[in-house]
Amino acid sequence: MIVAEKKPIEEIIEGIKDYQKILIAGCNECVTVCEAGGKKEVGILASALRMYFMNQGKTVEIDEITLERQCDHEYLEEIRDSIDKYDAVVSLACGVGVQFMAEKYPRVPIYPGVNTRFMGVTEERGVWTERCQACGECILAKTASICPISRCAKRLLNGPCGGSTNGKCEINKDLDCAWQLIIDRLKALGKLEDYEKLIPIKDWSKDRAGGPRKVVREDVRQ
Amino acid sequence: MRLQYPETIRIIKVPCTGKVDIIHILRSFEKGADGVYVAGCLEGDCRFEIGNLRARKRVEEAKKILEVVGIGGERVQMYNLSSSDGPRFAEIADEMTEKIQSLGPNPIKLALKKIAA
């Protein structure tokens, strides 16, 4: 999932302080799971903002909605009839949702309510870690299903480097060395001989180096 | 026991303080409460193991939010006491009432009154 973190309320207030009617829009997908922008967080932010403005002696109307997704036309369409009555929207979706809403509703300013961090997993409630960088050409088949692009600080294709000590990375003693994990797993799978195979230079044009990316599937396209 | 405690306190019963969420605390202030305290079981005594520990974290988070929005984080407080400890319950009620009285009314309550008038 896409992992995001709540933005400080002060930062959100700074963006919207001059508006009179504001919609707080949550997203029912990834940001709900990582507890940054779901219905619950929408309620908390809306309540906090209402109190802030009331305390400032301002009359600001703050409404709440949580859409199924903010990265699909059909769900964003649900607010088409009501969006014009708002001066601004604070979207608690990831950066994708914020932008798609802005593209769809060009006359309304859309403010981000979260910082989008990475694609990752829930290790335990309240702890999320990165697993994928969407490099565009998955090499997990060659690395025992452990990604050195997202989990090695240097993105080494043939590691580890000299900074790996006792299975930990030199940038942080709590961070596992991805290549140590790869070697350990290859060993456990009885495939340690695969470690001897060098991984060739990667085609980074499929990563961000090639500019914004696009996927077109003619077989499903309408 | 027939213990006395301030009549200004409104008790909202929950099955466990683990049920209390940040939004419940915030809504209380939005509706004009001057203070909120959560009375959970003693730490380590939760029937659901961590309900009261969760409540404490949520109270701490609510404190931070109330501080940012200008209501004041000190208006919300977590207490832990045994459910059979009546005298302590009354003591906490007095303590919290005294604290809130010294802080004065919730500014939201004043703003709500102003809007109504």
Work out the mean pLDDT of chain B and round it to a whole number: 95
Q: Considering only CB atoms, which chain B residues are within 8 Å of A10? A: 68
Tokens of A122: 């829930």
User: Considering only CB atoms, which residues of chain B are within 8 Å of chain A?
Assistant: 21-23, 26-27, 29-30, 65-66, 68-71, 107-108, 111-112, 115
Q: Is A56 on the interface with B (CB under 8 A)?
A: yes
Tokens 């949702």 correspond to what residue? A97
pLDDT digits (tens, 9 = 90+) for A101-121: 999 999 999 999 999 999 999
Look at residues B94, B39, B26 and name the one whose alpha carbon lies nearest to residue B65: B26
| pTM for this entry | 0.94
Q: Which residues pair with A111 in a beta bridge?
A: A90
Domain that holds residue A59: 2-118
* CA-to-CA dists, residue A66 to A180, A195, B23, B107, angstroms: 42, 47, 16, 29
The length of chain B, given as a count of residues: 117
CA within 13 Å, CB half, A106: 0
Instruction: Assess whether pLDDT exceeds 90 at residue A5.
Output: yes
Q: In whole angstroms, what is the distance from residue B18 CA to residue A41 CA?
A: 17
Q: With H, G, I as helix, E, B as strand and everything else as coil, classify residue A206.
A: helix
Q: How far is A35 from chain B (nearest CA, A)?
A: 13
CATH number of the domain that A32 lies in? 3.40.50.2300
pLDDT digits (tens, 9 = 90+) for A90-104: 999 999 999 999 999
In terms of domains, do A16 and A66 share one?
yes
Instruction: Assess whether pLDDT exceeds 90 at residue B78.
Output: yes
In terms of domains, do A68 and A113 share one?
yes
User: With a cut of 0.85, is the ipTM above it?
Assistant: yes
In terms of domains, do A22 and A63 share one?
yes
pLDDT digits (tens, 9 = 90+) for B21-42: 999 999 999 999 999 999 999 9
Report how many domains make up chain A: 2
